[in-house]
A and B are shown apart, each in its own frame.
Chain A
Amino acid sequence: MAATFASSSSPSLIDTLFQRSLDDVIRALRSSSSAALEAAAIARALDEIRREIRSPDLDTKVVALQKLTYLASLHHFDMSWAAFHALELLPSTSLPHPRAAYLAASLSFHPSSTDLLPLATHQLRKHLAPSPSNSPALAAPALHLLALASSPNLARHLAPDLLPILSSQSSSNLLRPKAVATALRALAVCPDAAPILFKPLVECLSLSSDPRAVSAAIGAFCELALAAPDPSPYLPLAPEFYRLLVDSRNNWVTIKVLKIFSRLASLEPRVAARIVDPVCELLRCSPAKSLVFECIRTVFSSLLDHDAAVRLAVDKIKEFLASDDDPNLRYLGLQALNMLGPAHSWAVEDSREVVIQALNDTDTNIRREALRLIMVNLCDSNVVDICNMLIKYAIKSDPEFANEIIDSVLATCGRNVYELIVDFDWYVSLLGEMVRNPHFAKGDETERQLVDIGLRVRDARPELIHVARNLLIDPALLGNPFLCRVLSAAAWVSGEYVEFSRNPLELVEALLQPRTNLLPPFVRAVYVQAVFKILAYSFISFIEQIQAGESLAIGNSLNQRGKQEGSDLLAAKSSSDQNNAFEIGHGVATADNAILFDSIEKQEIFKHESISCLLNLIETVVGPLSECDEVEVQERARNVLGLVLIIRGTQFWNIEEEHELTRDNKITKIVELMEAAFSEELGPVSTNAQKRVSVPEGLILNENLSDLLDILGDDGISPCASVSFSFRNHHPTETNKDSASAIEPNSLLSEHRKRHGLYYLPMDNDKSESNDYPCASEPLLPVSHGEDTEDIVKLPAQSLIPEKEKPTRTRPVVIRLDEGDGVLSANLATARESKHDLLSGAIRDVLLRNEKKPSSMHETSPPDRTSQRRENDACENSELISQQKESNSFGDREHGNSSSRKSRPHHKERIESSEQNEEKSHRHSGKSSRHHRRHKHRQREDAPLDIVPQAPVIQDFLL
């Protein structure tokens, strides 16, 4: 501050006389045409303001502050540095000065960063004080500022000053509603203020109050009840709210009352029963859409047990949905249906066509809401139809929405470990289908689910590998950057579950096809690793086949029984997993057939030549990759090549006679080794798995590694600059290209094209072009909205509602881990809740103390507030029960005294237990007539105690 003081010249008279007004500054800003000019104009204005605001002349100061306020609120310049100058103007006697100061402060002060406001405590107090000389023109902005920027301390200090305004009864007092709003904020920041502020707030609700004060108070209570984690402290006020619900002619007030009731009704079923009629009445008659909508929301959130009300609300929603000219109503209608949830899916079913039409709305928000609605109502019996419909629809819709559809299908189907999915074969093929959507961009989640299903659902593996094969074999998919994650998953699946593949050799060919060099290295690494697994598997199967064949031959020569054993052996060895799968899926009868079929096919495939051919192919394609400068790819490529070398190196490999092979010990060893390497099945890993691993002894995890830096730094060589590496591939990029062109000479590509022509474009162009790849994603299909809707509506008679069809097949086993899966973040807003707990605790105390006072003077002054009556009764009921247990008969007097004496020290627990007990007592009364009689008896005895037996409004109301 001192520095700025010195640098800029001090304010002079000239500044004061020729000060630019706010209008001048605004004009200057408006006339600056470019952004640069505007910035310059702002900078100049700020310079002036900094000088002028220190002027001793208050008028000059005010104008400067106004200009600063303008710049701060509309151009977002920080004005916290001027906070003190704003406060300086508060005591001025000229009305516009403090008003401008209040405006500046309320726009810029921030509860967390403005620490200067306590300096103004005295001034605020003065402005709030109710004296005739004090103009409301100052008290109003003071209240406003307090509401926006007060800290807990300030709120505590100034709460008593709000009281006179809050409790003034004159209807001309325009400040009262403002004070209510301020009191609400004060309660929010400082729950300690509840004992002072809560009672006057409650009084604002009373009949005699000014309607403005009532409306403000309702707003405040609505805010409090909605924010409180436990709204039960507000339950005693229900009669007041009910009166307002019935009497109020102000829609905005009624809306707030409805909000409060929707919160309270969940606590107390009798409240719900009581408000149903007025709510229905409003639903039927109110012309205001906002009110009708609020009624619908109230019904859907807390009156779901009342069928007539729900029907009425659903009818209203239909009206909303049918309003073609008002997108707002359509949107809100869908949103309200969303609140109903799957339990009332009949309501969605009723408006099925409209909902599906809404998928095609011009407004993305409406489409999104419709999608959400459909997804919420998805269940295991309609998931197939709906998802098929949606994925088909996604192909025709615009990119953004297509991905939203895909996203929500993935999210909904994957929810809680695929709980909706019964038919995993269908789901896996759906995944394969959605990947082909030209706009598809949800690679990560699809990748995760493909792998996850493979790990968790054994029965889905055959279909999974089928889908993976279809994805891998299509060269058109390789160039699409969004698909590489999916392809990586497909490659992993193809390697891991190769035993379910009909044709492993085809898989290898797909994995090594020329275009794979378009893939990023990390996917390529997965591809190469998959090749490794498939090669190992093929080789093992080949050898086992020969061994089995030998034993078969031996068995043949021995007897018929031996032969059967041999084929069993073969079956068990070559496809033990599949064996299991089929046994579960189709029963034992079909299993035999399948195994037979399988083994026949395998015998055809794993011939000596085919394996040789495989080895050749791998050598040709993977060979260049061993020089790749990506470590992952290079290392895995070398692994594969190593395996090829070992196989080739065996003694009898070159001998054509197959049966000779098994004589080689080395081969048996390789087979054993390979089997051991891949026999262990990978399973899903719990998210908590890491925690269960104990830290080995001697390992200090949080040891500081900074001294390593010194060692490394001493070398002066960066560790990665290893010379030998750069020697090997001295032109990394070039080699890359070279190898790329080496891998896929035209002959390879054209051969691939010949074999898989179906995936290539027809060869109608000249030779040079024929070797180009087809473009990865096809040009967008033209979107024609009109047709789509018809299509969509016509689409299979899919109903959103589950038609109870018999489950055609049982759901396969899905592996679930204990705690790790589907974890819900349970403890989210705990901090917030604790604060509100404080508040509602404080409020409960206030209400309770109100009640305690009269109850202790039971005989002299009857409780004047209805709610207190109820609490008293509740207390006595609980007391009653405890005493009944003791089976003592007390005199009236004695009992009344003991009750008030006992209850005082722990009234907080008392109120809770009394509620329970009250319930209990009702139950008791239903069950046992003896208790009931006693209860009655007790009440009769009680009656004379109340000198003025007031109508117990709450009980009436509730019962």
Chain B
Amino acid sequence: MIHFVILFSRQGKVRLTKWYSPYQQKERSTVIRELSGLILTRGPKLCNFVEWKGYKVVYRRYASLYFCICIDPDDNELEMLEITHHFVEILDRYFGSVCELDLIFNFHKAYYILDEILIAGELQESSKKTVARLIAAQDSLAETAKGEAGSISNMILQSM
């Protein structure tokens, strides 16, 4: 299964983390530090797999972002690369040529999209269209809800 998914930039700044296996907060930051150190030092045109503490980490760089997926040794690395690509394509479709800033300012959207693709470390949805449709539906629901409750007068009323 997938143990975690991490996105970080070329400078080692974390952009998204999703943990499917239980990791304490402290472990999480050490894991990220170790992995970004391991991966960022690897040059281009090398293979996309690193062995790390008995797990395998499949990473791939898109523009300035590194997408890393940590899996068990008997999982299929190439499949993970395909899933990463799948995720990136969906992000791209949603944001319209996605860039790092999109993820920074819409980090919860990125999470929602990831949650449609992977649940509990398992692949969920292999159709890009379905994911796009689901996310769009959620967005419209959220928008209407905001429209109802978002105005300042409402806020003042509620807090009185």
When C-beta atoms are compared, the residue in chain A nearest to B45 turns out to be: A327
Contact assessment for A219 and B47 in the assembled complex, using a CB-CB cutoff below 8 Å: no
Determine if A365 and B47 form an interchain contact, defined as CB atoms under 8 angstroms apart. yes
Across-interface contacts of B123 in A (CB, < 8 A): 215, 219, 252
Contact of A74 among B17, B134, B137 (CB under 8 A): B17
Interface residues of A in 408-447 (CB under 8 A from B): none
Are B119 and A294 touching (Cβ within 8 A)? Answer: no
B61 at the A interface (CB under 8 A): no
Interface string of A139-163 (1 = CB under 8 A from B): 0110110011000000000000000
A250 touching B120 by the CB < 8 A rule? no
Known: A73-B17, A330-B47, A365-B47. Contact between A16 and B155, CB under 8 A?
yes
In the bound assembly, the distance between CA atoms of A293 and B74 in angstroms comes to: 12
On whether the beta carbons of B158 and A59 are closer than 8 Å, the reply is yes
Closest-by-CB residue of A relative to B32 is: A76
Does the CB pair B119–A220 fall under 8 Å?
no
| A181 contacts the other chain (CB 8 A) | yes
With a cutoff of 8 Å between Cβ atoms, the chain B residues found around residue A501 in the complex are none
Question: Is B24 an interface residue when CB atoms closer than 8 A count as contact?
Answer: yes
A328–B78 contact, CB under 8 A? yes
B22 neighbours in A (Cβ, 8 Å): 110-112
Assess the B115–A95 pair: CB atoms within 8 A. Answer: no
Which A residues are CB-close (under 8 A) to B130? 174, 212
What 1/0 flags go to B22-44 for Cβ under 8 Å of A? 11110011001000000000010
B107 interface residue (CB < 8 Å to A): yes
CA distance A94 to B147 in the complex (A): 11
In contact, A59 and B149 (Cβ under 8 angstroms): yes
Q: Which of the 9-residue segments A96-104, A380-388, A708-716, A948-956 touches chain B?
A: A96-104
Q: Contacts A111-B22, A182-B120 known; A57 to B158 CB distance under 8 Å? A: yes
B107:A147 contact, CB within 8 angstroms: no
Hey, which chain A residues are within 8 Å of B72, CB to CB? Answer: 226
Determine if A17 and B152 form an interchain contact, defined as CB atoms under 8 angstroms apart: yes
Contact with A along B89-105 (1 / 0, CB 8 A): 00000000000000011
**In the complex, A100 Cα to B138 Cα: how many Å?**
12
Contact across chains for A96 and B145 when beta carbons are under 8 A apart:
yes
Given A226-B74, A290-B79, A327-B45; A96-B17 close (CB under 8 Å): no
Taking CB as reference atom, which chain B residue is nearest A78?
B25
Contacts of A255 in B (CB 8 A): 76, 79
In the complex, the answer to whether B159 meets A13 with C-beta atoms within 8 Å is yes
Q: Which residues of chain B come closer than 8 Å to A107, judged between CB atoms?
A: 17-19, 111
Residue of B nearest to A258 (CB): B76
Task: Note all chain A residues with C-beta closer than 8 A to B111.
Answer: 103, 107
**Known contacts A17-B152, A252-B79, A365-B51; A143/B119 CB under 8 A:** yes
Of all chain B residues, the one with the shortest Cβ separation from A188 is B120
Given A59-B149, A215-B126, CB of A140 within 8 Å of CB of B115: yes
B120 and A184 form a contact (CB under 8 A)? yes
- Least CB distance from B80 to A in Å reads 9
Residues 283 to 324 of chain A near chain B (Cβ within 8 Å): 289-290, 293-294, 297
A328 engages B48 (CB within 8 Å) = yes
Bound together, the chains give a CA A657 to CA B159 distance in angstroms of 116
Asked if A185 is at the interface of the complex by the 8 Å CB criterion, the answer is yes
* Chain B: interface size category: 35 or more
Is A545 located at the chain interface by the 8 A CB criterion? Answer: no
Partner of A362, one of B19, B46, B159: B46
A327 touches B25 (CB 8 A): no
List A contacts of B76 (CB < 8 A): 255, 259, 290, 293-294, 297
Question: Is A331's CB within 8 Å of the partner chain B?
Answer: yes
Q: Specify the chain B residue showing the minimal Cβ separation from A262.
A: B74
**Residues A212 and B47 in contact in the complex (CB < 8 Å), given A74-B14, A103-B111, A328-B77:** no
CA distance A266 to B9 in the complex (A): 43
Instruction: Name the one of A16, A182, A216, A327 contacting B47, with C-beta atoms under 8 angstroms.
Output: A327
Interchain CA distance A836-B77 in the complex, whole Å: 25
Please report the C-alpha to C-alpha distance between residue A111 and residue B23 in the assembled complex, in whole angstroms.
9
Distance A69 CA – B149 CA, assembled complex (angstroms): 22
Interface size counted on chain A using CB atoms at 8 A:
77
Chain B residues near A293: list those with CB within 8 A.
76-78
A45 to chain B, nearest CB (A): 15
- Contact code string B117-132 (vs A, CB < 8 Å = 1, else 0): 0011011111100100
Minimum C-beta distance from A26 to chain B (A):
6
**With a CB–CB cut-off of 8 A, which chain B residues contact A56?**
159
On whether the beta carbons of B124 and A216 are closer than 8 Å, the reply is: yes
**Complex Cα gap A30–B25 (Å):** 23
| Interface hits, B52-105 → A, CB 8 Å | 72, 74, 76-79, 81-83, 104-105
CB <8 Å contact, A59 and B155: yes
Q: Verify B119–A178 contact, CB threshold 8 A.
A: yes
The minimal Cβ–Cβ distance linking B94 to chain A, given in whole angstroms, is 16
Contact partner of A365 among B15, B32, B46, B134, CB < 8 A?
B46
How many angstroms from the CA of A57 to the CA of B78 in the assembled complex? 48
| Alpha-carbon gap, A658 to B107, bound state (A) | 94
Chain A residues near B74 (CB-CB < 8 A): 226, 259
Complex-state Cα separation, A572 to B15, whole angstroms: 78
* Interface bits A13-25 vs B (CB < 8 Å: 1, else 0): 1001100000100
**Interchain CB contact under 8 A, B108 and A219:** no
- Which of A94, A177, A328 has a CB less than 8 Å from the CB of B149? A94
Expressed in whole angstroms, the minimum distance between the Cβ of A222 and any Cβ of chain B is 9
Q: Mark A352-382, 1 if CB is under 8 A from B, else 0.
A: 0000000000110110000000000000000
**Is the CB–CB distance between B142 and A99 below 8 Å?**
yes
> Any chain B CB within 8 A of the CB of A817?
no
Which of B14, B150, B155 neighbours the largest number of chain A CB atoms within 10 Å of its CB? Answer: B155
In the complex, whether A7 has a CB less than 8 A from a CB of chain B is: no
With CB as the reference atom, state the residue of chain A lying closest to B122.
A219
Task: Please measure, in the bound complex, the distance between the C-alpha atom of A80 and the C-alpha atom of B15, giving whole angstroms.
Answer: 21
Q: Is A332 an interface residue (CB 8 A)?
A: yes
A70 at interface by CB-CB < 8 Å = yes
Indicate whether A223 reaches chain B with its CB closer than 8 angstroms: yes
Chain B nearest CB from A221 CB (Å) reads 11
Which among B49, B105, B150 is the interface contact of A26 at CB below 8 angstroms?
B105
B68 CB to closest chain A CB (Å) equals 15
Chain A residue contacts of B16, Cβ below 8 A: 73-74
Q: Which of A250-291 contact B (CB under 8 A)?
A: 250-252, 255, 259, 289-290
Residues of B within 8 Å of A55, CB to CB, are 159
Contacts of B15 in A (CB 8 A): 74
The docked-state distance in angstroms from the alpha carbon of A849 to that of B2 is 33
Q: Are B115 and A141 in contact (CB under 8 A)?
A: yes
Residue A113 interfacial (CB < 8 Å): yes
Chain A contacts for B152, CB-based, 8 A: 17
Contact A177 B124 (CB under 8 A): yes
- A66 interface hit (Cβ, 8 Å): yes
Chain A CB count within 10 A is highest, among B16, B82, B122, for: B122
Complex Cα gap A611–B108 (Å): 85
Check if A113 sits within 8 Å of B24, measured CB to CB.
yes
Decide: A57 near B49, CB < 8 A? Known: A23-B105, A212-B125, A290-B79: no
Chain A nearest CB, measured from B135 CB (Å): 10
Known: A181-B120, A223-B122, A332-B78. A66 touches B49 (CB 8 A): no
Q: Which residues of B contact A289 (CB under 8 A)?
A: 78
Q: How far is the CA of A112 from the CA of B23 in the complex (A)?
A: 10
A143 to B29, CA, bound (A): 26
Cβ contacts A to B, 20 pairs, < 8 Å? A13-B156, A76-B28, A78-B25, A80-B25, A95-B141, A103-B111, A107-B19, A112-B24, A137-B138, A148-B20, A181-B124, A216-B122, A252-B79, A290-B78, A293-B78, A297-B76, A332-B77, A332-B78, A365-B47, A365-B50
Interface residues of A (CB under 8 A from B): 13, 16-17, 23, 26, 30, 55-60, 66, 69-70, 72-78, 80, 94-96, 99-100, 103, 106-108, 110-113, 135, 137, 140-141, 143-144, 147-148, 174, 177-178, 181-182, 184-185, 212, 215-216, 219-220, 223, 226, 250-252, 255, 259, 289-290, 293-294, 297, 327-328, 330-332, 362-363, 365-366
Q: A94-B145, A103-B111 are in contact. List 6 more A-B contacts (CB 8 A).
A: A26-B105, A59-B158, A106-B115, A110-B23, A174-B134, A181-B119
